[in-house]
Amino acid sequence: MNEENLDLELQEEYAKFLTKEFAFFLPGISPEKIYEWNLSLVRASKQGSLAVPVGDRVPPESDLFKTRGNLLYFHKTFKRLKYLEEGFRSLLALQNSEENSKKIPSVIGDITEINPLLIRKGSQDFVLCGEGEQRKALEAALAHPFFVLTGGPGTGKTTVIANLLRGLVRMGYSSSDIGLAAPTGRAAQRLKESLDNSLAFAKRKEESDLSLAGLSASTLHRLLQYNPRRKSYKFGESFPLPYEVIVIDEASMVDLNMMSRLLEALPVSQKKNFRLILLGDANQLPSVEAGAILSDLVKALAKVKSSHFLELQVSRRQEEGAGSISQAARICIRENGSLRDFQSSAISEISLENLQSALDGKGFFTIRKEDSKDLETLLETYSDKAILPNLENLPDPKDSNAIQRYLTKDINRSRILTILRNGFYGSDSINRRLTLSLLSRKKERIVRIGNRTYFPGLPVMITRNDRARGVFNGDTGLVLEMETPNGEKELRALFLIEGTIRDFALDTLPSHEPAFAITVHKSQGSEYDSILILFPPDPQDLDPNDLSLELFRKEILYTAITRAKQNVILSAGEKLLGFALENRFERVTGFEL
């Protein structure tokens, strides 16, 4: 039985279980109708939606189902959604104190004129947030205690936030009262790195700016301090967070439950000058779990032209020559982005023979059709050019600085991104084949545990939160040969967690998988110098109603492309690529502000 059929069977079994539970409380309604409601909501939730259209019969008001307008919800889901909507309305009603409002003009002058962040281009210095949309975003974020800042990669979101935090400490906020967080460990690490990089451009090193350099960023789970024994969070409605300023990056990855838990823990009533800033890219894939929080919020704020929201549109991240990546990404999210326009945004169509020139270059490239069909040769060529060099330059196990550099930079030089997890073109299969191929050409000490093979240089990604050990879904580490206290050699997995290197015995490592290849969903919150995007081959007949095609959407292609800093190499047939460009993820939420 394939995974899709098994998944559908599990959904049906769960709907039957709910129906038995619900039937007692809904005596006037047939079990068949209750089952129909349950199954439609269970399936919708699996696809990320919160609700389904009501249909011809509306359930009575109860603690089981809830209707609003023409949408049907599980009551528990609707309660969470309602709490979220009310929470955002309360945040939008927050206002700066008169004292803080008066300080804003002089603060902006200080951080953009007297002691700005300066970046040198050629022989000229440019002020970060000195003009244009970044300046507007900075002014708006200072003016509003609740602010939402969106934009694609390289548009300067963290540059604006760095200047915002500089402004806030000058207004009287303490750096110790600032909390930074993101959904994954890697995203939190990137937030910290980006802020540090921006702060380093300060014209003069003032004490207030130096205090910001000491900030750390954590995952949302760590921010709220989950207790695995109690299976609850330390911070919540009865015990709010201790910060006056909270910045959440990669907000598109935050689902309904986590966002509502965050809002429950905000110290709005305890801190009269409290501020919340949400950052993210609303065009990316929505959260893995149910909801489309950032996208819904942005649409609602944009509809009323709210000054609490600004979208940055000018990308500065890709180095010179890599502008084709930004162009391809823009075509992805356009309503009328065509296959022809998308293909023409590539610098060139390349063969495997000149793959190295693409890896050495910058921009967006496509693999020619005949080479895309030969997956084994494509993988072998890519691993020779992009993966092996990293394996031959592993850090000295005794040099913690070298290990930290590797876990911060080198491990993210290249990645293969797949749409699927299972099947011949899925990340699981590709990781197995790459492991066999690499070990056949590079003799390494290997350790086998169960059906897994480990060797020095193997990147591993955590796939399930393990709060007791402090590692979370998406955290990426490296297998290295370490020396034990008694002088023996042992393969261990090393992770960089909030600036500290931690190592784990392989047989005690939480749920994980090799990370030469990962799904696009798993890549969210990360960025790599070079990526290879693999689509499976085109089907002979493409049925739009085929459930196996539900992942092929604009957002997944956009998210994949925007993970790259220098170059993107795409291997895809025209049918599936065209299908993805024509379709969006449509999540039914009924979100209202």
- DSSP per-residue codes, 139-192: HHHHH-SEEEEEE-TTS-HHHHHHHHHHHHHHHT--GGGEEEEESSHHHHHHHH
* CATH architecture for the domain at 94-312: 3-Layer(aba) Sandwich (3.40)
- Distance, in Å, from the CA atom of 529 to the CA atom of 567, rounded to the nearest integer, reads 7
The yes-or-no answer to whether 94-312 and 323-582 have a common fold is: yes
Summarize the chain as % helix, strand, coil (round to 5). Answer: 45, 20, 35
Single out the residue of 539, 130, 530 nearest to residue 363, CA to CA.
530
Spatial contact of 40 and 14, defined as CB atoms under 8 Å apart: no
Q: Is the pLDDT of residue 176 over 90?
A: yes
Single out the residue of 154, 93, 156, 150 nearest to residue 130, CA to CA.
156
Q: Is the pLDDT of residue 532 over 90?
A: yes
The counts of H helices and E strands in the chain are 22, 26
Q: Is the pLDDT of residue 197 over 70?
A: yes
Mean pLDDT on 321-338: 82
Q: Which residues of 99-114 are buried (b: 16+ CB within 10 A; e: fewer)?
A: ebeebeeebbebbbee
- The position carrying tokens 């005596």 is 27
Spatial contact of 422 and 538, defined as CB atoms under 8 Å apart: no
pLDDT tens digits, one per residue of 269-320: 888 899 999 999 999 988 888 999 999 999 999 999 999 999 998 877 555 5
Nearest-5° angle of CA 265, CA 524, CA 514? 115
Longest dimension (CA), the chain: 79
Spatial contact of 520 and 421, defined as CB atoms under 8 Å apart: no
How is residue 89 written in tokens? 């309305």
Question: So what's the pLDDT on residue 3?
Answer: 47
Question: So what's the pLDDT on residue 558?
Answer: 94
How is residue 275 written in tokens? 């501020």
Spatial contact of 451 and 514, defined as CB atoms under 8 Å apart: no
| Region of poorest pLDDT, from 123-132, 569-578, 581-590 | 123-132
- Distance, in Å, from the CA atom of 570 to the CA atom of 215, rounded to the nearest integer, reads 38
Residue type, 9: E
Give the Cβ contact number of residue 417 at 10 Å: 25
- Distance, in Å, from the CA atom of 428 to the CA atom of 516, rounded to the nearest integer, reads 10
Pure H helices in 200-255: 207-213, 220-224
Spatial contact of 202 and 212, defined as CB atoms under 8 Å apart: no
- Binding residues, as ranges, are 151-158
Domain positions in the chain are: 3-74, 94-312, 323-582
In 296-430, where do the E strands start and end? Answer: 309-312, 348-350, 363-367, 414-418
The CATH fold assigned to 323-582 is Rossmann fold (3.40.50)
Q: Is the pLDDT of residue 526 over 70?
A: yes
pTM: 0.87
- Binding residues for ATP, as ranges, are 151-158
Angle between helices 132-143 and 157-171 (to 10 degrees): 40
Assign 467 a pLDDT band (cuts: 50, 70, 90): confident
